[in-house]
Structure 1
Amino acid sequence: MGLSSLDAGRDYGAITLAVKVPGARDNVMRPEGEHVQIGVDIGGTFTDIVALDGEGRLALAKVPSTPKDLLDGIGAAVGKVLALAGAPPGDVERFIHGTTVATNAVLEQKGAVTAVLTTEGFEDVLEMGRQKRSRMYDLEMDPETPSFLAPGRRRVGIRERLDARGAVLVPLDEGQVRAAVQTLRAQGVQAIAVCYLFSFVNPAHERRTRELCAEIAPEISVSLSSEVDPTFREYERLCVTAFDAYLGPVVKRYLAGLADTLRGLGIRAVPLIMRSRGGIVSAALAARQPVTLFLSGPAGGVIGAGCAAERSGVRDFVSLDMGGTSNDVAVVRSGAPLLASEGSIGPYPVRTPMVDVNTIGAGGGSIAWIDAAGGLRVGPRSAGAEPGPACYGRGGDAATVTDASVVLGYLNPERFAGGALTLDVGAAERAVGAIGRRLGVDTITAAAGIHRVINARMADQIRLVTIKRGYDPRQFSLVVLGGAGPVHGAALAAEMGMAEVLVPEAPGVLAAFGLLAAAIEHHHARTLQARTDVADLAAVNRCLAELDAAGRARMHEEGVAAADVHVAYTADMRYVGQAYELEVPIAAPVAAERVPDIVAALHAVHERVYGYARTQQTVEFVNFRAVHTYRLPRPVVRPSAQAHGRLDDARVGERRAYFDGFVSAAIYERARLPLGARLAGPAIVEQMDTTTVIPPGVTAVVDDAGNLRLRRA
């Protein structure tokens, strides 16, 4: 448990770490005019910020987030971190930001007043959806389609029609478009989503509709499905286009405000924004594709975990980011996070590529409760920051995971969060004891039960993102982030049979650091359906060339030289008759002699994911994708741990902690641990933003990168 669930109205200070990038000189004062890079990640309670200067020094800070105006928190964070770095605002060369503004706008339903223009007769696609029900027998469940984006009165059918090859069957009725836009404008509509049938094959009608909108109501933002998501499946394409329109004015206003805030601080750098797929783009381009920002925050955490693991030579791992309220889990294979071609916000599908992050309500503040059958449950309801866990002493009386950790001796009541908060042990014992009495067990047994239940939930979460994708979790390391992750890491690894747990140096601010390690990236996709045995490869290669041209145009807007751009192509493929696809890497151009290898690759992926392959069945292409990447220099961190020293100097005491019974555990201060130090459990390592629990039979080593690595002895 760490700063993620502390009081947002109080400033708990800042932390600094020594860092080195290639060519940096040690023990040199920062010279005037040296460039500085800043990464900012906004959380529900704290805004995390890092500043890296040209000499490789890294300053880190946490300031309270300001939900009423997130930009106020950014301004305060920038001021603090620049003071720590001793840098003037004019020295900031790059400013990278991970934001939750898009997600919050949808969850709080505070987006723009949006309308939909679609092919006549298809006005209710947004409301009908796929007729799927997450709760089959719930007769009172709320709709699970995002009809709030554009109610029926703002969904207008337009006379026009294309066939499946893009040929015009019914010309666009421009007079009807003009009349519809004028009516919608009078209703106060701020954004319009245009989604016509088969526009992903021929976008002419959609583009003309935008021209007409610009003539009549230039102040209205317009999103075209042929640009937002030019792939087939009508409902999903309409959903993502409507979300894009709904978010457009909100995101544009926020990013314009961000630019104004930075200019007001004296920062001339153009802000870069983290997108759901884990890449960064300029604010101007992000404003044109707002729907790609949904998982901006969690993506930074996964990239940060990858950067920390890479320094230790770990390329296959599961990242687990456990804060005060929720827990985010992702898989990184061969150094790259697994991606999903679509995700969801609540029950609503969002077909935009994103880091495959699975989130559940399991954090340090998750509340323990008894269900109707008398069983112990933990989460998803959380005590939050106010009143917080009972041990915070601010009026909370519900037992939480943090309270259980206090009762079990894992957390130091006197030095929690570096001494910023003194925990009330008696309050924790009373809260957990109340759960115990209802279960008919003592307080200690109840606390241990709370930990077992929350660990079991997180273990199921890890199984979901590994076994579901065809991976054996025992072949992966576990990288734990967030304030609460290192408390539970060793127990989780033991339950999953994972060989190693890696605890980065500053897991509480790793999402902000991950922003500095991200690459500039643009993704484009297009539908071109064809059986592999009869595919028109000339058409396939024209499609790939068009995707390449679109990506390179975006990179040119970013100011990236063509020679520095890396391009990767994939094809969404399936067996003929299937309703789902798998992504297979391909090389461009596609030659006839390479098609059998591409088909074999689909068989292999299908075998891994589903446990079988139909090698005799016909295969087809569905969509083609291109990802253009420009990799920025990654910061190479020099560990803050001292190169030499004695382990005994880092030992600050001992206390009784629970490991199937209370035993005496040595307590160490993380900042004093020297490189190469080896700690045998039972032991506990304390630092400002987290606590690492090392059970008996587990050995922890500080490796050359400064990461703490836990293994079974």
Structure 2
Amino acid sequence: MSGYRIGVDVGGTFTDCVLLRPDGSLVVEKTPTTPHDQSEGVLAGLLRLARAEGLDDSPALLADTESIVHGTTAADNTMIEMSGASTGLLVTEGFRDEIEFRRCFKEEIWDPAFPAPAPIARRRVRLEIRERLTPSGDVDTPLDEESVRKATARLRAFGVTSIAVVFLHSYVNPAHELRAREIIRDEYPDVELISLSHEVWPKPPEFERTSTTLVNAYVGPPIVRYLDRLEGRLLEAGYGRELLLATSSGGVATPSQIRARALATISSGPTGGVVAAAQASRATGLGDVVSIDMGGTSYDVCLIRGGRPEVTSDWNWRHRYCIALPMVDVHSVGAGGGSVARALDGSLQVGPESAGSVPGPVCYRRGGTQATVTDADLVLGRLDPEAFWGGRLALDVEGARAALADVGASLGLDVEQAAVAVVNIVDAHMCDAVRRVLSLAGVDPRRLDLVAFGGMGAVHATAHAAALGMRRVLVPRAAPGLSALGLLTADHMIDDARTLVGPWREIDLHRLTALADELADRANGELTAAGLTTDRIRLEWRLNLVYPGQTFDVGIPLERRGDEPIRAEAVAEAVETFHRSNEEARLIEARSQEPVVRGIRLVATGLVDQPRLAELEPSSEPPSPIGHRRLYAGGEWHDNAPVYDGDAVRPGPVIHGPALVQSRFTTLVLAPGDAATTLANGDVLVEVDAGSGGRG
């Protein structure tokens, strides 16, 4: 590596920036997120990196930067705020209301009054087009071009600026969708985006494809505008290379790919941290782990088995819409350092609302008036009021105490009791999130280790591990910016599919091979355009199979040697694997049924050079505390807990709790009985006191 590599992760409260130097050392910086325009916070973070390197400005840094990989919450924010483009939908006649049916899926099945999600496209801009294809792609009803013209005129009159087109069975034959796009462009040249379902997700079933395409049309224009602003600012600052964007599947993509399928950035922010957590756990020799990312706004949980995070497709619900793209299976709850605490009707509620970066917690001195988890942690002695955020922000202890006093007054709690209650409640919410993820996977948390990151992850991690019965916690060296670091180590990834339906014994192998070649040509072209050589590209094939009557297919590994035709023996082997996996997962033997092929899937990976992080020199001398502080940990107060400089601690001696290991952007809280060891790479491994389950 001859130049710098930079990872940028935009969170709800802070924008994290990680600089990887040519020698493998890291610089982590944080700057407040700028919700009105995230690109401003990104450029501010780059300026901080430049100054950390002793440079005058960003251009001096960017001139020697090889790559920037960016994870953004822009698409998520668009869905949360429902602030996307004015979107219309063209569908095959008879399918106008399918998006409302939602497969009868309801998030709160016991609440008959639970409202439907806010519609992306209201019924008046969901229009039917007379056309029909058969499941094999033959034309049943020709495309009525005049109805497309009339529908386009109506959408234009209603102020629609982005149009989704979802025609039945277009994933087999896209001719009608392609012609519809030509007509729309002729009739409405100023339309911002036209999303065709066969390009967004060329697979059945119909509802999932409709929902996915509609979300893409909704978030696409805001994402494209954001990318244009960010790329323009980077160019002005002297960065002339291509910006890379994180995707929800754990890989990265080029801006041209994201412009065509913008919804691939939804939930992409947390995936960088999960990728890095998986790498950190493998490097430490841990087995299966749970990663937790606690920032200012959310708490993100992911199960990592066999060194790889779980990835799901077809049935991903994000922001109350189904998105059928492959996604790292990260579950988020509204719990973080900025979670607001309130006394309501004699009870204490914490979150999901967050104070964010503006106005932020009361102790930030930015106008916040409501007590938050960060305010409670400050009162409990877990945060250093003088050294927070690298010493750039002096925290207002008295302001935090006054806000918590207001919360506790109606509950009969004093300030410190209110702080303890706030922390206990938010910890319970977060532990419940972990339990929910693990119970759905059938996993016992006592058999797993915990990997904690994010600015607040280390503050709460040992308490969570103890409550869940876990024995070890790994806090990576770059924990405060691990998601940004993970973006630097994430390989380029393209996950695409083509549909071909038929009984497996009768499938047309020539057609299947042709579809595979089409996928391979497209993936190789996109990866080489991103600067990867062919020897760094890996192609993994999947045959999508279902039993007759099943809705969702399963991708089974399919052997293919180079660009040779797909062999009947390889298909038969995939079918056998499909039978076995079904038996193992469901304990049901179904070999009397003949599986149906639903298409072929390609996972193409462009291997990125992995950084070799610098190791620390070991030390035989126990670290000396830099101070002492009154600390609440392990369910009790400790009047004189030692505070250690986490940036100065070296591999070797063990630090025993109660204690604080304080770094620039995070603090590791150790309760009595906990023992922390710094590893050669700077990560910290904590042996959690087995007898302290349920501690606060």
| TM-score normalised by L of structure 2 | 0.88
> By how many angstroms is 1:348 displaced?
1.4
Does the 8 A contact of 1:41 with 1:512 survive in 2? yes
The aligned residue for residue 693 of structure 1 is 669
The aligned residue for residue 353 of structure 1 is 326
Q: Aligned pair 1:333/2:305, yes or no?
A: yes
For residue 248 of structure 1, the aligned residue among 217, 220, 225 is 220
> By how many angstroms is 1:161 displaced?
0.8
Does the 8 A contact of 1:389 with 1:399 survive in 2? yes
5+ long unaligned stretches in structure 2: 690-696
Judged with a 3 Å threshold, the aligned counterparts in structure 2 of structure 1 residues 436 and 637 are, in CA distance, closer, same or farther, namely same
For residue 79 of structure 2, the aligned residue among 83, 100, 106 is 106
What letter matches 1:119 in structure 2? T
> By how many angstroms is 1:520 displaced?
1.3
The aligned residue for residue 189 of structure 1 is 160
Distance in 1 (CA, whole Å) between partners of 2:144 and 2:210 is 20
Q: Aligned pair 1:678/2:654, yes or no?
A: yes
Judged with a 3 Å threshold, the aligned counterparts in structure 2 of structure 1 residues 623 and 370 are, in CA distance, closer, same or farther, namely farther
What letter matches 2:680 in structure 1? D
The aligned residue for residue 34 of structure 2 is 66
Give the 3-state SS of the residue equivalent to 2:539 in structure 1.
Answer: strand
Give the 3-state SS of the residue equivalent to 2:647 in structure 1.
Answer: helix
Does the 8 A contact of 2:473 with 2:688 survive in 1? no
Does the 8 A contact of 2:71 with 2:487 survive in 1? yes
- Residues 176-199 of structure 1 show CA distances to partners (whole Å, capped at 9, x for unaligned) of 323433443454432221111111
Distance in 2 (CA, whole Å) between partners of 1:97 and 1:164 is 40
> By how many angstroms is 1:172 displaced?
1.2
Give the 3-state SS of the residue equivalent to 1:636 in structure 2.
Answer: coil
What letter matches 2:495 in structure 1? H
Does the 8 A contact of 1:576 with 1:617 survive in 2? no
The aligned residue for residue 692 of structure 2 is none
Give the 3-state SS of the residue equivalent to 2:105 in structure 1.
Answer: coil
Give the 3-state SS of the residue equivalent to 1:647 in structure 2.
Answer: coil
| TM-score normalised by L of structure 1 | 0.86
Distance in 2 (CA, whole Å) between partners of 1:441 and 1:491 is 22
For residue 12 of structure 2, the aligned residue among 21, 36, 44 is 44
> By how many angstroms is 1:371 displaced?
6.1
Give the 3-state SS of the residue equivalent to 1:486 in structure 2.
Answer: helix
Give the 3-state SS of the residue equivalent to 1:130 in structure 2.
Answer: helix
For residue 134 of structure 2, the aligned residue among 150, 163, 166 is 163
Distance in 2 (CA, whole Å) between partners of 1:83 and 1:419 is 15
The aligned residue for residue 559 of structure 2 is 587
Distance in 2 (CA, whole Å) between partners of 1:95 and 1:223 is 28
- Residues 145-193 of structure 1 show CA distances to partners (whole Å, capped at 9, x for unaligned) of x633x22232222221111111111111223323433443454432221
For residues 142-221 of structure 1, what are the structure 2 equivalents within 5 Å?
Answer: 142-144=115-117, 147-148=119-120, 150-220=121-191, 221=193
Does the 8 A contact of 1:115 with 1:192 survive in 2? yes
For residue 382 of structure 1, the aligned residue among 354, 362, 365 is 354
What letter matches 1:158 in structure 2? I
Does the 8 A contact of 1:92 with 1:268 survive in 2? no
- Report which stretch shifted further, 696-705 or 663-672: 663-672
What letter matches 1:647 in structure 2? P
- Report which stretch shifted further, 192-201 or 328-337: 328-337
Judged with a 3 Å threshold, the aligned counterparts in structure 2 of structure 1 residues 563 and 380 are, in CA distance, closer, same or farther, namely same
> By how many angstroms is 1:231 displaced?
0.9
Distance in 2 (CA, whole Å) between partners of 1:575 and 1:499 is 42
The aligned residue for residue 8 of structure 1 is none
Does the 8 A contact of 2:33 with 2:357 survive in 1? no
What letter matches 1:205 in structure 2? H
- Report which stretch shifted further, 72-81 or 615-624: 615-624
Distance in 2 (CA, whole Å) between partners of 1:77 and 1:241 is 34
**Matched residues, percent identical?**
38
What letter matches 2:18 in structure 1? V
For residues 256-275 of structure 1, what are the structure 2 equivalents within 5 Å?
Answer: 256-275=228-247
Distance in 2 (CA, whole Å) between partners of 1:629 and 1:382 is 37
Judged with a 3 Å threshold, the aligned counterparts in structure 2 of structure 1 residues 591 and 676 are, in CA distance, closer, same or farther, namely farther
Give the 3-state SS of the residue equivalent to 1:62 in structure 2.
Answer: strand
Distance in 2 (CA, whole Å) between partners of 1:401 and 1:387 is 14
Judged with a 3 Å threshold, the aligned counterparts in structure 2 of structure 1 residues 61 and 659 are, in CA distance, closer, same or farther, namely closer
Does the 8 A contact of 2:13 with 2:295 survive in 1? no
- Report which stretch shifted further, 219-228 or 528-537: 528-537
Give the 3-state SS of the residue equivalent to 1:627 in structure 2.
Answer: strand
Judged with a 3 Å threshold, the aligned counterparts in structure 2 of structure 1 residues 676 and 415 are, in CA distance, closer, same or farther, namely same
- Residues 349-375 of structure 1 show CA distances to partners (whole Å, capped at 9, x for unaligned) of 122111111000111232345566x65
> By how many angstroms is 1:705 displaced?
1.2
> By how many angstroms is 1:213 displaced?
2.6
> By how many angstroms is 1:66 displaced?
2.5
- Report which stretch shifted further, 669-678 or 127-136: 127-136
Q: Aligned pair 1:126/2:90, yes or no?
A: no
For residue 624 of structure 1, the aligned residue among 575, 600, 605 is 600
Does the 8 A contact of 2:340 with 2:370 survive in 1? yes
Does the 8 A contact of 1:506 with 1:689 survive in 2? no
Q: Aligned pair 1:322/2:294, yes or no?
A: yes
Does the 8 A contact of 1:650 with 1:673 survive in 2? no
Distance in 2 (CA, whole Å) between partners of 1:527 and 1:296 is 26
Q: Aligned pair 1:89/2:89, yes or no?
A: no
Distance in 1 (CA, whole Å) between partners of 2:350 and 2:47 is 39
Give the 3-state SS of the residue equivalent to 2:642 in structure 1.
Answer: strand
> By how many angstroms is 1:208 displaced?
1.6
Q: Aligned pair 1:79/2:47, yes or no?
A: yes
> By how many angstroms is 1:340 displaced?
1.6
Give the 3-state SS of the residue equivalent to 1:44 in structure 2.
Answer: coil
Give the 3-state SS of the residue equivalent to 2:23 in structure 1.
Answer: coil
Distance in 2 (CA, whole Å) between partners of 1:608 and 1:423 is 54
Does the 8 A contact of 2:32 with 2:357 survive in 1? no
Distance in 2 (CA, whole Å) between partners of 1:654 and 1:151 is 57
Judged with a 3 Å threshold, the aligned counterparts in structure 2 of structure 1 residues 659 and 109 are, in CA distance, closer, same or farther, namely closer
- Residues 55-112 of structure 1 show CA distances to partners (whole Å, capped at 9, x for unaligned) of 3343332223322222222233223323433444322221221122222223323322
Distance in 1 (CA, whole Å) between partners of 2:89 and 2:361 is 45
Judged with a 3 Å threshold, the aligned counterparts in structure 2 of structure 1 residues 224 and 267 are, in CA distance, closer, same or farther, namely same
Judged with a 3 Å threshold, the aligned counterparts in structure 2 of structure 1 residues 55 and 660 are, in CA distance, closer, same or farther, namely closer
What letter matches 1:134 in structure 2? E
Give the 3-state SS of the residue equivalent to 2:500 in structure 1.
Answer: strand
Distance in 2 (CA, whole Å) between partners of 1:609 and 1:397 is 51
The aligned residue for residue 659 of structure 1 is 634
